[in-house]
Amino acid sequence: MTDDDADLVALIDNELDETTKSALLARLATDGQLRARYEALREAGAPIAASLDALLQQAPVARLRAALPAERAAPAPQRRFAGIAWRELAAGIVIGLLAAGAAAWVALSLAPREGAEDWRSAVAEYTGLYTNETFSPLNPDAALQAAELSAVGARVGANLTPDKLALPGLRFTVAFMLSFEGSPLGAIAYVDPEGNPVMFCVFANQAPDAPLRSERRDDLSLASWSRGGRSFLVVGRVPEERALALAQTLEKRV
């Protein structure tokens, strides 16, 4: 390490104040040895970020997720999220990536409502909790996407593949299982370029066929239909027409 190293590294990191920067640039213009040192330090640092990112891939996320503590105190029942107890919400956070193709399985019991129809309300309220930071960091590769979708598809009796579920303008982030009143509910989370979550849910509820319809609830748009003993729902903080268009695309494929 030389006396100039700290300034050279700060220059590389674009952290040098203007005065020091000007002086250092002037010296670099004339001093070959200093330039060589600058290059050596720059090259040495170039692979650091990628190397640290490689470490992230090794994080035992499934194990850490499973260890997330459950919330003890439930909020007062009159709250907007009364339908989902906080303890269950903790389980809901335990979503996501599957380790080595094995299903990360969450039996989340969304609290019973007035009727089977209200699974959509429960999902909508749950979706309201997600922010544009919830799913954005998840970026599964093709193999993991396929494994997750296949596992979720098997539980809800649908053939789910990355191709079928690819949606324009949205990025797949994770597929996971919930349950509502004892029936399996598969959830697939997408994000738009700003990170806003859009959920596609498949609920094996044995409901009679129903045509596609859309609605607004608070700031969420919902588009849903039922077919073949399963109900489907697209929900997200997007315009109603967009939710409807996404649902129309999925209706043809799933």
* Minimum distance, C-beta of residue 189 to other proteins, in the bound complex (Å): 11
245 interacts with other proteins by CB under 8 A: no
188 interacts with other proteins by CB under 8 A: no
Distance CA 236, CA 135 (A): 13
56 interacts with other proteins by CB under 8 A: yes
Q: Which of 31, 35, 71, 212 binds other proteins (CB under 8 A)?
A: 71
Strands in the chain per DSSP E: 109-110, 171-180, 183-191, 197-203, 210-217, 220-227, 230-236
* Minimum distance, C-beta of residue 249 to other proteins, in the bound complex (Å): 27
19 interacts with other proteins by CB under 8 A: no
Q: Which of 47, 77, 228, 239 binds other proteins (CB under 8 A)?
A: 47
Strand 230-236 versus strand 220-227 pairing type: antiparallel
Cα three-residue angle 205-207-209, rounded to 5 degrees: 140
User: Closest CB to other proteins among 88 and 225?
Assistant: 88
Which residue carries 């439930």 as its tokens? Answer: 74
User: Closest CB to other proteins among 131 and 159?
Assistant: 131
* Minimum distance, C-beta of residue 111 to other proteins, in the bound complex (Å): 17
6 interacts with other proteins by CB under 8 A: yes
Q: Which of 85, 67, 65 is nearest to 77 (CA)?
A: 85
Which residue carries 């009727």 as its tokens? Answer: 115
101 interacts with other proteins by CB under 8 A: no
Residues in the chain: 254
Count of residues touching other proteins (by CB under 8 A): 56
Distance CA 8, CA 88 (A): 52
Contact stretch for other proteins (CB under 8 A) within 38-46, 103-111, 157-165, 177-185: 38-46
Which residue carries 């588009």 as its tokens? Answer: 223
Cα three-residue angle 253-210-213, rounded to 5 degrees: 80
Q: List the beta bridge partners of residue 185.
A: 178, 203
Q: Which of 21, 27, 35, 61 binds other proteins (CB under 8 A)?
A: 61
Tell the burial category of 6 from Cβ atoms under 10 Å away from its Cβ (0-12, 13-18, 19+).
exposed
Q: By CB under 8 A, what part of segment 124-163 binds other proteins?
A: 129-131, 133-138
Residues at the site binding other proteins, with contacts judged by CB under 8 A: 1-2, 5-10, 13, 15, 40-41, 43-45, 47-61, 63-65, 67-69, 71, 75, 79, 81, 86, 89-90, 93-96, 129-131, 133-138
